[in-house]
Amino acid sequence: MFVEKFFNLADGKISYTRKQASEFAKQVADDFNPLHDEDAKRFCVPGDLLFATTLATAGISQNMRFTFSGMVTDGIALHFPGNLDADADICDDKEKTYMSVSASGEQSTSSTLIESLIRAYVGFSGHTFPHILCDLMAKNDVMINPARPMIMYESMALTLDDLSVTDVSLELAETTLSIDGKRGNACLRFNLFSNGKQIGQGEKHMVLSGLRPYCGETISKISEDYIAMKASYHKAA
């Protein structure tokens, strides 16, 4: 499966190099969050790569929820479940939890379905910023701190009504942002389709910190710089 080149398996544990994590973010998710750059001082493995690794190693369940609780850096060896028969915590050797998985319903290990779902979801998830989140902040008249932009991936959940399909696409359904002081909780709801028929739905939750009054000029500059960085990478690739 294509995901396997983005992680290392040894002694029953999985780890990631900076290069693997950064290439997954940029090449698969089209995610250019500076935290995923190889030389980032506060480097972390993308949450979407942890999600993809779980599906690649344990399969898909009809109902799944992923809750992120810690930042994975390069070289940390993690224990992933071999199946999704029950709830599981993805921990290191010191039993520190980085992600929790809850699963129920029928299961599938179809590599075709797994790859299609991974590509559909992480492609959507990687485009959360700037397009979706910037529009959401504008509608709510708030924005993140441009000096220290803090957007944390909190959780995601999805439900698949039909596990017999092989091709999955995703469409954004609804976005909301609840604000409590300088903290915001964003929810992006989406629908899953196969051959034009809806076969499921899901949602992604993020925490936005350091909120302040919206400034269109500032957000435009942040978006332009981000898009220019992506263009530069793709041109050089």
List for the chain the helix, strand, coil content (%; round to 5): 35, 35, 30
For residue 50, what are the contacts with CB-CB under 8 A and spacing of at least 6?
A: 66, 68, 72, 90, 98, 99
Q: Where are the domains of the chain?
A: 2-236
pLDDT confidence bin for 230, thresholds 50/70/90: confident
* Each residue's pLDDT tens digit, 95-137: 999 999 999 999 999 999 999 999 999 999 988 988 899 999 9
Share of the chain above pLDDT 70, in %: 100
* pLDDT score of 236: 79
Are 46 and 36 in contact, with CB atoms under 8 Å apart? yes
* pLDDT score of 198: 98
Per DSSP, helices labelled H in the chain are: 18-23, 47-58, 111-125, 133-139, 216-236
**CATH class held by domain 2-236:** alpha beta
How far apart (Å, rounded) are the C-alpha atoms in residues 89 and 97? 6
